[in-house]
Amino acid sequence: METLKQIKKTMQESRSLYKEKDFINGAYIKNLKGRSMLSGFSPTTVERVIIQQLFNGLALGMAYSLIAVGYSMVFGILRLINFSHGAVYAFSAHMALFFIGMQFGIIPAIIISIIITGMLGIVIDKTALEPLRKKNSMPIASLITTIGMSNIIQNLLMIFFNTERKTFPAFFDFGMLNFGGVQINSTQIVMCVVSLALLIVLTLIINKTKLGLAMRATEQNSKAASLMGINVNFVISFTFFLGGASAAIAGALISGYYQIVYPGMGFMVGLKAFAAAVLGGIGVLYGSVVGGLVVGVSESFAATFLGSSYRDSVAFIILILVLIIRPTGLFGKKDIKKV
């Protein structure tokens, strides 16, 4: 009896395995219809595409997570979806482009853009959000304010830089690297490494410095933090600076990757990064990283296997599913109801 069951089981398993492979093959074949690559070993081609797309997704996902931490940190402290963050990201790319145009080197230009974008974050907070906090106004007022700020920034970009798509130098392209038959673009590796390094730096700032301690305290209870002598408004401004600066780095990376810059570029990327932040659990830094990777990888797979028009929405489908199962995201903490 036992053996019979076992045989049955293995048979079922192998059948399901077979189906799965077939399915992937089918989708792949459909996708690459008419291309010559399909000759020879099809399984390895599938694997290759999968691995390449995986790297594609990972690189993009790391850059998303740099934008996502901006949403996440601001949401953690202010409980506010900062809709201007996408526009801030677009702003950073244009600043980088502008300073690159001034001909004093790409890296200095990007550093300047990082600083300026960080400053823009502070300006948004000081001019638009801080007055609302002082008046204790409703959350939706702040939300609309950030939408208004996004409008202002994006349309100013259109006025000063035109609406057309401008090319951005591929400043960190060192050609293709070959890993055992899998070709990986060096830009992707640079994106991964730079993002990862910056996220580690951010984590260190938040967990090891005095300012980071103040940030965490403010996030937990801003009133108590202010009673302990923490300058809450400064902490919030600093958070906006960090958010803007990391968005600027992501801006430089993603622009260098796609080599295109235009004023409306921040909108979709912003929404997706935001989805990533929520997905991972907002207010949790490593959550943003995981969320960013999930969004990036699912996006590049969806683009390959379903068609490019699906790429922008997969993030939201995953987001909704995750939120319904875990209301505070993958790593978010649950609050206890206080009465």
Partner 1 sequence: MDKKMKKETSNNLILKFETFVDKYKLLLAAVCTVLLLVFPYMGVNQYILRIVIMIGIYSMLALGLNILTGYTGQVSLGHAGFYAVGAYTASLVALKLGANFFVATLAGAALSSLCGLLLGLPTLRLKGTYLSIVTLGFGEIVKMITMNWDKVTNGTLGLKNIPKPVIFGVKLTLSNNGLYYLMLVLVALTALICMLIIKSKIGRAFMSIKEDELAATMMGIKTTQYKILAFVISAFITGIAGAFYASMIGFIDPNSFTFDISTLIISIVIMGGMGTIRGMFLGSAILIVFPEVSRFMMDYRFVVYGIVLVLMMRFRPQGLLGWKSQLPYKFPKLARQELEKQDKSILNTL
Partner 2 sequence: MAYLQVNSITKQFGGLVAVDNVSFEVEKGEIVSIIGPNGAGKTTVFNMLTGVYTIDSGEIIFDGTPIHNTNPYNIVNRGISRTFQNIRLFPNMRVIENVLVGTHIRTKYGFFDALFRTGRYKKEESEKVVHAAKVLKDIGLGNRINDYAQNLPYGEQRKVEIARAIATDAKIILLDEPAAGMNPQESDELLCFIRQLRDKGYTIILIEHDMSVVMNISDRIYVIDHGKKIAQGLPGEIANNECVIEAYLGGVKKDA
Residues of this chain that interact with partner 2 (CB under 8 A) are 336-337, 339
Neighbours of 167 (CB within 10 A): 11
281-320 residues in contact with partner 1 (CB under 8 A) are 307, 309-310, 312-313, 316-317, 319-320
Rounded to a whole number of angstroms, the minimum distance from the CB of residue 83 to partner 1 is 8
155 binds, among partner 2, partner 1, none (CB under 5 to 8 A by kind): partner 1
Helix %, strand %, coil % of the chain (to 5): 75, 5, 20
**Residue 238: C-alpha distances to residues 92, 113, 195, 241, 260 (Å):** 17, 17, 20, 5, 30
* Residues in a beta bridge with 113: none
Out of 158, 196, 205, 330, point to the residue binding partner 1 (CB under 8 A). 158
* CB neighbour list of residue 118: distance below 8 Å, 6 or more residues apart: 240, 241, 242, 244, 245, 248
DSSP three-state, residue 166: strand
* Residues in a beta bridge with 260: 167
147 near partner 1 (CB under 8 A): yes
Out of 45, 82, 142, 300, point to the residue binding partner 1 (CB under 8 A). 142
123 near partner 1 (CB under 8 A): no
Out of 103, 159, 164, 334, point to the residue binding partner 1 (CB under 8 A). 159
336 binds, among partner 1, partner 2, none (CB under 5 to 8 A by kind): partner 2
The residue (of 30 and 337) whose beta carbon lies closer to partner 2 is 337
In whole angstroms, what is the distance from residue 133 CA to residue 240 CA? 15
In whole angstroms, what is the distance from residue 280 CA to residue 319 CA? 9
Q: Is residue 315 within 8 Å of residue 299, measured between CB atoms? A: yes
**Region near partner 1 per CB under 8 A, out of 18-26, 108-116, 214-222, 271-279:** 271-279
The residue (of 210 and 337) whose beta carbon lies closer to partner 1 is 337
275 near partner 1 (CB under 8 A): yes
The residue (of 254 and 282) whose beta carbon lies closer to partner 1 is 282
In whole angstroms, what is the distance from residue 135 CA to residue 25 CA? 60
98 near partner 1 (CB under 8 A): no
108 near partner 1 (CB under 8 A): no
In whole angstroms, what is the distance from residue 260 CA to residue 168 CA? 5
For residue 142, which of 91, 68, 84 has the smallest C-alpha distance?
84
**Region near partner 1 per CB under 8 A, out of 9-17, 137-145, 183-191, 209-217:** 137-145
For residue 67, which of 202, 171, 167, 181 has the smallest C-alpha distance?
202
193-212 residues in contact with partner 1 (CB under 8 A) are none
DSSP three-state, residue 184: strand
276 near partner 1 (CB under 8 A): no
Out of 111, 205, 271, 330, point to the residue binding partner 1 (CB under 8 A). 271
* CB neighbour list of residue 305: distance below 8 Å, 6 or more residues apart: 27, 28, 31
231 binds, among partner 1, partner 2, none (CB under 5 to 8 A by kind): none
Interacting residue ranges for partner 1, rule: CB under 8 A: 75, 79, 81, 128, 131-132, 135, 137-145, 147-152, 155-156, 158-159, 267, 271, 274-275, 278, 307, 309-310, 312-313, 316-317, 319-320, 323-324, 327-328, 337, 339
